[in-house]
Structures are given as C-alpha cells and as structure tokens.
Amino acid sequence: MTDVGRFWETWAPYLSYIEDNHLDLANIEKLGGIISDPVLIVGAGQGLLVEQLQKSGHKVDGVDLSPQMVKYAETRRGLKLIEADARNLPFASKMYNTAIIATGVVDFLDDDGQIGLIINETRRVTQDSGKVLVAFLGAHAAAERFARRVGLITDRGTFNQRKFFELTGLSPWQTLRTFRRDSGIGIFRALRELLLAAVRNRGNLTGLSAVVG
C-alpha cells in the first residue's frame, strides 16, 4: 500500500469527524449541473458523496484504496464500495460519463509522475465526451496567506502535511509563537493573520480539532 493509502487506513476510524470537508456535500451540490451518469468517485472514503449523489438520483460507483474505508462505508451507510488502487482501476475503458477524483488522492501527492498515472487511468475509464474532475484541498484566502507564511504551502505549490499536523497539535499560543518565528512578522500582525485564518477557515478546522485536539 502507498503512503497515502496507509495514511487513510490510520484515519478510517475517525473519518466521520472530518469527511464533510473540502469536496463536501455543499460543493458537490454546486457541481451538480455538470455531473452526468454513470459516475465514478475515486477516493470515495466512507461513501459520503456516493450516498449523496445516489440520493439525488445518480448512478454512482465509488472506489477507495483503503480496505478500512470500504468496510466502514458498508457498516455506516450500507454502501458497497470497491477496494482499488486509482492507478489500476478494475473497470473496462470508457465506462463512466463523469469521474470525480476526491480530495485526499491527487492533492496528497507531490510526485507528478504518480499524479499522471492516476489521471491517465481515470481518463481511460471515462468516455471521450465525459468529464474528469479533480479536487484539491482549499482554504479561504486569509487561511492560504497564513499557510504560505508559515510554510504549510511551499513556494513550489506543495502542501506540507507533516507541518500541518504539527501545528494542529499546538495550543493557540504555541501556534502564534511558531507563526511569528517562521514568518518573521510582528506580534500584532501575526495575531491578526492567525485569527483571520482561523475564523475564515473554521469550517475546515472544526472536525480536525475534534480528532487531534
């Protein structure tokens, strides 16, 4: 199993706290107008989006690399997801009209070669006239500014997950001190940017704090 796969295996028991995040129920609804059946979700987790799209009348399959996620999808939602590696999907070519690569797949990789393998394989199972949608973690502009200052997002556009989990384990005061040290800005400006980032991005952080904190 890949590092990303092991990561999600570890998080599987806690996913219910954080799953409605990033490419979440609200955002999938916004994309409703461009989704047509049949639909494949790559990195389906425990089936949050599969269940939502099925409720909306769509014909949806979901795959996930983590056996634990597939198991939880069945026990929590009664969904039969397919355990599969996104680089080698167990489907015939051009089976789907829409393929959605959820957050936690491509955006958790910084290796362009691996990303290319996943994209090409997803394209293979999608009809020529179909759509491939790739989701990435996002943040409000204030939170992004904070992330870049503190080195969570690097100059080459990669996301430092290790640093992210280090920061989420700190108290607010420790976070402020770390932010000041890493960004080199004054205490008042650091406090303002930290507060803005926390307030603007609170929806994304609430679930994570419940797990890490």
Partner 1 sequence: MEGHAEGRSGGRVITRPDDASVLFHHLTDTTVYLYDSCTVVLLHPKAP
Chain residues binding partner 1 by CB under 8 A are 3, 21-24, 27, 30-31, 34, 103, 106-112, 115-116, 119, 123, 128, 131-140, 144, 153-154, 157-162, 200-201, 203-204
Residue 80 vs residues 59, 108, 196: alpha-carbon distances, Å: 13, 25, 41
Nearest alpha carbon to residue 191 among 180, 203, 182, 202: 180
Q: How far is the CB of 51 from partner 1 (least distance, A)?
A: 18
Q: How far is the CB of 170 from partner 1 (least distance, A)?
A: 17
Q: How far is the CB of 80 from partner 1 (least distance, A)?
A: 26
Q: How far is the CB of 73 from partner 1 (least distance, A)?
A: 21
Element holding 39 (H helix, E strand): strand 39-42
Cα 84 from Cα 75, distance rounded (Å) = 19
Q: Closer to partner 1 at the Cβ: 117 or 176?
A: 117
Q: Closer to partner 1 at the Cβ: 27 or 71?
A: 27
Q: Closer to partner 1 at the Cβ: 26 or 92?
A: 26
Total residues belonging to the chain: 213
Q: Closer to partner 1 at the Cβ: 116 or 186?
A: 116
Q: 176: which residues sit within 8 A by CB, 6+ positions away?
A: 187, 190, 191, 194
SS3 95: coil
